[in-house]
């Protein structure tokens, strides 16, 4: 057995998947929506644009451009550091400990956002905290995703993964509704909170931090640490990068098509993330949607994305995941093109939700595609590289959005996101799916159960 195989997370044998462990794992995804849905997408991001900066242009740039720059810097840090964080946690046997540390750092940055008042001078604090939270969230995600083979079998890996994905969507919906009813919609919210000084939005950040902290706890008790990996994998940081390069070269030599898929998916997944990151911000700054309405849009957007994933998941069994992903990317590009020329809140509601409809299927089918592409016995390695390549490209869409919005206007920033999606679609079109992914597998079989 090679060092790579020995270091890959072990997949549990059939029959040992426990519901309580899967639920505990999925609750982290439920809780992490506090940062993804509330902080970066539908509440605090728009608050920075309208409440903190407003019509001011700090440094001659709009708030959207500054947020794009912040996302670019965060993505660059993630790309430079994240590829070895999962590798080192596996080698040392500290995956759960690392998840706890990075999650705690995310919660700390969310608590820090309470200091961001609705004045332009607080933009810099917001940018630093949002960038730091993004980096910590991505590092936490590396350890979290690496746990998937631990809590599932080969027969239930996709099902368990889909459960976690849906928990993230529905956790975001539930939390957004609570925040809207408790702090944003009423003139005087819970605990006597008002909008003076942006207090209601700042309190949402604290409430969301507590939400994440509570729901992140179960996985830390339910999923055990794995034994440390081979001694040859426990190396210095510079050696970790050399080891990573060696692993990628070995995969390229043995399964070049899988590497092409990893590269293609890294591109379009960055574009998918940007749709949610910048969509709500553009709704406020370009299409005139009220900040309180953006939260409702976020709830509906999550529902639409979840329904899209469920519906196209059934279609995928007949036409294969590659076609589902390509159809979704074409739908996303069409919606981006229309929004580039459209105006008004009605048009954004229609085509913004159409964007979200295609995000869910593209995300879900990408994970399914990888499960089919992964060589038998190397699924853990492939899922680790899937996370790594996704992080490595995570600065492209924010950087291009910042470039186009800075040179032209916030609306033209959409072009940057569309270019990343287009590049991913073109790269994916050249990937040859294995025979088993061009439709149903070699024959029907009884669905696995989670006992």
What's the CATH number where 311 sits? 1.20.1250.20
- Look up residue 436 and give its DSSP letter: G
Burial of 238 (0-12, 13-18, 19+ CB in 10 A): exposed
Which stretch of 39-43, 171-175, 419-423 has the lowest confidence by average pLDDT? Answer: 39-43
Burial of 159 (0-12, 13-18, 19+ CB in 10 A): middle
**128: confidence class by pLDDT, cuts 50, 70, 90:** very high
302 within domain boundaries: yes
Q: How remote is the C-alpha of 436 from its chain's centroid? A: 27
More confident residue, 413 or 79: 413
**Number of structural domains found in the chain:** 1
128 within domain boundaries: yes
pLDDT over threshold 90, residue 422: yes
* Maximum average pLDDT range among 197-211, 249-263, 420-434: 197-211
pLDDT tens string 210-266: 999 999 999 999 877 665 555 555 555 566 667 667 777 777 777 788 888 888 998
The string of DSSP letters for 136-154 reads HHHHHHHHHHHTHHHHS-T
Question: How many Cα atoms sit within 13 Å of 244 on the Cβ side?
Answer: 22
Q: Say how far apart CA 226 and CA 3 lie, in whole Å.
A: 16
4 within domain boundaries: no
265 within domain boundaries: yes
Which bin fits 198, alpha (ψ -120 to 50), beta or left (φ > 0)?
left
Q: Compute CA distances 131 → 107, 125, 141, whole Å.
A: 13, 10, 15
351 within domain boundaries: yes
More confident residue, 391 or 405: 405
CB-based contacts of 89, cutoff 8 Å, min separation 6: 95, 97, 98, 142, 143, 146
12 within domain boundaries: no
Task: Select from 143, 358, 347, 179 the least CA-distant residue to 272.
Answer: 358
Percentage of the chain exceeding pLDDT 90: 20
Q: What is the pLDDT of residue 12?
A: 47
9 within domain boundaries: no
Q: Say how far apart CA 247 and CA 307 lie, in whole Å.
A: 37
Give the phi and the psi of residue 109 in degrees, each rounded to 5: -65, -35
Cβ–Cβ < 8 Å for 358, 336 = no
What integer is the mean pLDDT of 337-360?
86
277 within domain boundaries: yes
CB-based contacts of 19, cutoff 8 Å, min separation 6: 450, 451
Q: What is the pLDDT of residue 28?
A: 94
pLDDT tens string 168-182: 888 888 898 899 889
CB-based contacts of 162, cutoff 8 Å, min separation 6: 309, 313, 364, 367
Cβ–Cβ < 8 Å for 142, 150 = no
Domain that holds residue 127: 17-223+235-433
The string of DSSP letters for 354-381 reads HHHHHHHHHHHHHHHHHHHHSPTT-HHH
Cβ–Cβ < 8 Å for 151, 160 = yes
pTM, to two decimals: 0.73
Q: What is the pLDDT of residue 427?
A: 93
Cα angle value 77/279/404 (rounded, 5°): 65
Which stretch of 9-18, 303-312, 339-348 has the lowest confidence by average pLDDT? Answer: 9-18
């Amino acid at each position: 057995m090679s060092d790579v195989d020995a270091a890959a997370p072990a997949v549990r044998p059939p029959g040992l998947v426990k519901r309580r462990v899967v639920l505990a794992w999925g609750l982290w995804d439920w809780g992490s929506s506090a940062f993804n849905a509330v902080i970066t997408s539908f509440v605090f991001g728009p608050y920075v644009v309208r409440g903190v900066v407003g019509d001011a242009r700090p440094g001659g740039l709009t708030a959207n451009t500054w947020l794009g720059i912040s996302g670019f810097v965060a993505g660059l840090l993630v790309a430079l550091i994240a590829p070895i964080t999962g590798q080192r946690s596996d080698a040392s046997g500290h995956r759960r400990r690392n998840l706890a540390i990075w999650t705690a750092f995310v919660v700390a940055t969310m608590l820090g956002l309470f200091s961001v008042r609705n004045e332009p001078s607080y933009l810099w604090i917001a940018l630093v905290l949002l960038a730091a939270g993004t980096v910590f969230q991505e590092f936490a995600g590396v350890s979290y995703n690496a746990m998937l083979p631990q809590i599932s079998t080969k027969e239930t890996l996709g099902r368990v993964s889909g459960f976690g994905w849906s928990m993230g969507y529905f956790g975001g919906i539930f939390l957004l509704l609570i925040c809207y009813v408790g702090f944003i919609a009423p003139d005087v919210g819970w605990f006597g909170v008002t909008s003076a000084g942006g207090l209601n939005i700042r309190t949402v950040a604290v409430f969301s931090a507590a939400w994440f902290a509570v729901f992140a706890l179960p996985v830390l008790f339910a999923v055990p640490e794995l034994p440390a990996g081979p001694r040859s994998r426990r190396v210095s940081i510079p050696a970790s990068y050399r080891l990573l390069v060696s692993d990628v070269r070995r995969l390229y030599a043995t399964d070049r098509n899988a590497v092409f898929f990893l590269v293609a998916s890294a591109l379009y997944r960055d574009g998918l993330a940007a749709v949610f990151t910048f969509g709500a911000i553009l709704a406020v700054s370009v299409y005139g949607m009220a900040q309180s309405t953006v939260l409702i849009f976020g709830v509906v957007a999550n529902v639409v994305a979840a329904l899209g994933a469920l519906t196209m998941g059934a279609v995928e069994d007949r036409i294969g995941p590659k076609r589902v992903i390509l159809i979704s990317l074409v739908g996303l590009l069409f919606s981006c093109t229309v929004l580039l020329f459209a105006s008004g809140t009605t048009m954004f509601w229609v085509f913004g939700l159409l964007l979200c409809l295609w995000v869910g299927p593209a995300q879900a089918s990408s994970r399914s595609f990888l499960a089919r592409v992964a060589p038998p016995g190397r699924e853990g390695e492939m899922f680790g590289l899937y996370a790594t390549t996704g992080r490595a490209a995570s600065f492209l869409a924010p950087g291009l959005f910042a470039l186009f919005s800075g040179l032209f206007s916030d609306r033209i920033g959409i072009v940057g996101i569309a270019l990343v999606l287009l590049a991913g679609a073109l790269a994916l079109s050249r990937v040859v799916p294995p025979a088993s992914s061009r439709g149903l597998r070699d024959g029907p079989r009884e669905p696995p159960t989670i006992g």
